[in-house]
Amino acid sequence: MTVLDQFRLDDKVVIITGASSGLGVSFAEACAQAGADVVLAARRADKLTDTAALVEQAGRRCLTVPTDVADPAQCTALAEAAMKEFGHVDVLVNNAGVGTAVPALRESPEQFEKVIDINLNGSYWVAQACGRVMAPGSSIVNIASILGITTAGLPQAAYAASKAAVIGLTRDLAQQWGHRKGIRVNAIAPGFFESEMTDEYAPGYIERMLEERVVLKRVGAPAELSATLVWLASAAGGYVCGQTIVVDGGVTIT
């Protein structure tokens, strides 16, 4: 096996949450191009059709499962649907997430709880459901954020708290499951990438961050983040366990 061969996901089954838009679409396409069959999960089931088409264009099989990750029962049903269709689950990408930019003195309990329910609790419920059926050698990749590590000039208490918690969850699941179950658990902390969340930022915010905080002076390309995902999911990342890989163009060093 060559070094490049180790990055393949041939005949693996990958579950991706939040697969209806943004980075989830890029993750699905990249995993399919690396040889995996893909299970797509999102609340907006109608928007999964386009993502499924990208997987199938890469020559791989695809299953779409409408899922609200905040509901533990739906997370269990997602893992069961994948097992029924493919017989195994090898990789989980916990990508589903929402964000708010509300000043802390004005954020309502409902706003805060919604972010925690999806970003943190949802990651846990899906990981739990998949951890029950995954075989040794499997991999979980949680999508955290640099806002779990640093700040970026916006009032994002709920989002930052949820992503910091995802990083802690990643470490704990890695130490629980790494030896006992043979499941590697890692996280990626993206910086500024185009997504539905960045579309909601105030005009000029991204430009200011690029000037003041991003060493490389540009937003990241989705393919750059997807390459990191494939590395962590594949045999190439086989000795990486419990880590949060920062992909941010240098934000966290400024």
Of 165, 227, 162, nearest in space to 193 by CA: 227
Annotated active-site residue in 124, 159, 201, 205: 159
Q: What is the rounded average pLDDT of the residues 65-91? A: 98
* pLDDT (0 to 100) of residue 13: 99
Assign 200 a pLDDT band (cuts: 50, 70, 90). confident
Residue 162: predicted pLDDT? 98
Q: Residue 45: which CATH number? A: 3.40.50.720
| In-domain check, residue 254 | no
69 occurs within a structural domain: yes
Q: Which residue has the higher pLDDT, 69 or 202?
A: 69
- Enclosing domain of residue 164: 4-247
Instruction: Identify whether 70 is part of a domain.
Output: yes
Does 30 or 47 have the greater pLDDT score?
30
- Average pLDDT of span 224-233: 98
**Portion of the chain with pLDDT greater than 70, in percent:** 99
Q: Over 80: is that where the pLDDT of 195 sits?
A: no
Q: Are 148 and 103 in contact (CB under 8 A)?
A: no
Q: What is the average per-residue pLDDT within 68-89?
A: 98
Give a yes or no: residue 208 inside a domain. Answer: yes
Distance CA(118)–CA(158), nearest Å, equals 11
Answer with the residue of higher pLDDT: 109 or 196.
Answer: 109
User: According to the model, what pLDDT value does residue 1 have?
Assistant: 84
User: What's this model's pTM, rounded to 2 decimal places?
Assistant: 0.97
Tell me the mean pLDDT in the region 169-193: 98
pLDDT at 196 over 80: no
What value does the mean pLDDT of the chain take? 96
118-128: average pLDDT: 98
Question: What's the structural domain count of the chain?
Answer: 1
252 inside domain: no
Q: What is the DSSP string of 28-74?
A: HHHHHHTT-EEEEEES-GGGHHHHHHHHHHTT--EEEEE--TTSHHH
Is residue 159 annotated as part of the catalytic site, yes or no? yes
Query: Which residue, among 220, 218, 175, 216, has the nearest Cα to 193 in the 3D structure?
Result: 220
**Would you state the pLDDT for residue 202?**
85
Return the percentage of the chain with pLDDT > 90, whole number.
93
Residue 81 belongs to a domain: yes
**Confidence tier at 194 by pLDDT (50, 70, 90):** confident
Supply the pLDDT for residue 224: 97
- DSSP string for residues in the chain: --TGGGG--TT-EEEEESTTSHHHHHHHHHHHHTT-EEEEEES-GGGHHHHHHHHHHTT--EEEEE--TTSHHHHHHHHHHHHHHHS---EEEE---------TTT--HHHHHHHIIIIIIHHHHHHHHHHTTPPTT-EEEEE--GGGTS--SS--HHHHHHHHHHHHHHHHHHHHHTTTT--EEEEEEE-SB-SHHHHTSPTTHHHHHHHHT-TTSSPBPHHHHHHHHHHHHSGGGTT--S-EEEESTTGGG-
Average pLDDT over residues 156-185: 98
Q: Does the structure show a pLDDT above 80 at 85?
A: yes
